[in-house]
Chains A and B, each alone.
Chain A
């Protein structure tokens, strides 16, 4: 591949092809070559920093048919520089891929910023798995598809509803800090959200989207980020229209899973998920059919709040042994034997996944998937994660260079080490509780709408715990919750992706 030395100046240059007045372009300069190599090397090491950063992008034009309508869209893949709002100094170079419909009025056309979590995860999972114009067909929860999964047109793309910008966090994917900052500078709850705010401000300014309804779509730690980010954006005078929370962790202090294998943090929030997973494997007594899962989950919510949690609190604070009748009920409703519940009354997801199925472990991200102990899929402790990771890592590079004409010599790092060096302290706590941030954003902008989506079978961010966290906001017409069959990445399930797309489309319409 030829290195394009004419594109290596130190000054920032925005390279956008003029596409006949397309919705994403502001200025125009010479069209980039059809195969664009960004020669910069991007590192995700904590001590890494770029000496300087150019704002370069490849621009390509595509079509997709959605619901019988042909959509012409522009894909822009490259970097923009986030700058400190007070000093103007460059902070970090963000890699993004934007999909914008051509010939739309920016004043009414929504724009949504997508990011995964980790922290330290590149946004490859949402980008190639959820609602972009292309997706990897994983076939989940079946594990029969061979890697690398095929990249197909996504008939559930959100492109008919909103423009989309998939952004890699600093020190993941192809995003890196600019000196004197290092990646580690932004590896913290507050610093990360602030630099994301600065990227969004830059993107909006560079692409003339000031009047566009703006949305955030974060997954997992990305939901933690979204709450802080929403508050920071409103404070900065950037009005948001909506926030989609995909598989949330809104309070690290209330999610017992991050303290696996044990802690005094209550796992009551996991109980309905255990019920759903036991039902999937037909181990519950009885195991209701899928159509009755919502009703069964209501019963499990009531069991968790009314009986399991009070008994758990007595057990954790006073050592009171649980009532055998309760143990029997927990066994019947989750498929894990009463002896297991007795051994680990505060039942952690790691114990459940390893002890539900003899000789096998369930997935954590998607517990409907399982694999025999000692086999290839079980080797990393989560078959649902192992099943997908190689395909996503391989296909992002291929897709960027082949479909989006963006080539870069760096390896696209899907998960960096940020998670270990992260500064989790936020406000007065050692671990982030971002419900106050979400509440602050809603106070600053009472028109803001929030949609929480999650999977029944997610053993990482259990849906009932998210409901409990959001309930602290009080009854609110601003917040809606949807749960679907599936795991952490609900959109990887073919049936649930259709349901989720419909709910998202309705959510966007409701904000107009």
Chain B
């Protein structure tokens, strides 16, 4: 990938910069281009050495994967449940950015209580074909 070249000059410099990158000659600039760019590997994706911490656990599938999905959905639900009641009103869902729950609120809130529990959300998803336990 091309090395970033930076100039703080008039627009004409943009043309010069393009020519410079075509010739692949690194051009010294005042304070901008990080020197590490020249040694950076060109691959996407790539991991810097200090980030190379792979998990040794077997990748999840089946029931373990479904549990992970449920934990993710529950985490979002709990974060929106600012009053800690285990329930969400439509307004609380909206305020937290949970547009899916807000939009389908009436269908999720089957007994018209004005609030939904996480189990209500799960049931609604399952009824529409989601693979959740």
Contact = CB atoms under 8 A, between A and B. Distances in A.
B18 A472 contact: no
B5 A411 contact: yes
Contacts of B95: 86
Contacts of B48: 419-420
Interface string B39-60: 0111111111001111110011
Interface stretch (A57-65, A91-99, A258-266, A496-504): A258-266
Chain B facing A: main interface SS = loop
B91 interface: no
A37 interface: yes
A234 to B, nearest CB: 6
Given A259-B54, A385-B1, A444 B47 contact: no
Given A253-B55, A385-B42, A414 B6 contact: no
Interface in A283-315: none
Interface stretch (A101-109, A132-140, A423-431): A423-431
A86 B96 contact: yes
Contacts of A393: 2, 18, 21-22
Nearest to B75: A427
A429 B55 contact: yes
B41 A381 contact: yes
A394 B41 contact: no
A414 B53 contact: no
Contacts of A145: none
B31 to A, nearest CB: 10
Interface stretch (A67-75, A176-184, A326-334, A435-443): A435-443
A351 interface: no
Interface stretch (A22-30, A38-46, A153-161): A38-46
Contact of B97 (A235, A254, A264, A364): A235
Interface string B95-131: 1111110110000000000000000000001001111
A237 B131 contact: no
A480 interface: no
A185 interface: no
Given A86-B96, A238-B99, A394-B18, A430 B55 contact: yes
Nearest to B125: A443
Interface string A236-267: 11100000000001011111011100011100
Interface residues of B, number: 62
Contacts, number: 204
B60 A436 contact: yes
B22 A148 contact: yes
B47 A259 contact: yes
Contact of A45 (B32, B56, B60): B32
A444 B100 contact: yes
B99 A43 contact: no
Nearest to A396: B18
24 contacts: A119-B44, A119-B45, A148-B22, A251-B59, A252-B54, A257-B43, A380-B42, A389-B1, A390-B2, A390-B24, A409-B14, A411-B5, A414-B4, A415-B44, A417-B34, A431-B47, A440-B69, A440-B73, A443-B130, A443-B131, A444-B100, A444-B130, A469-B59, A472-B65
Contacts of A437: 72
B28 interface: no
A436 B59 CA distance: 10
A77 to B, nearest CB: 15
A440 B60 CA distance: 13
Contacts of B5: 411
A85 interface: yes
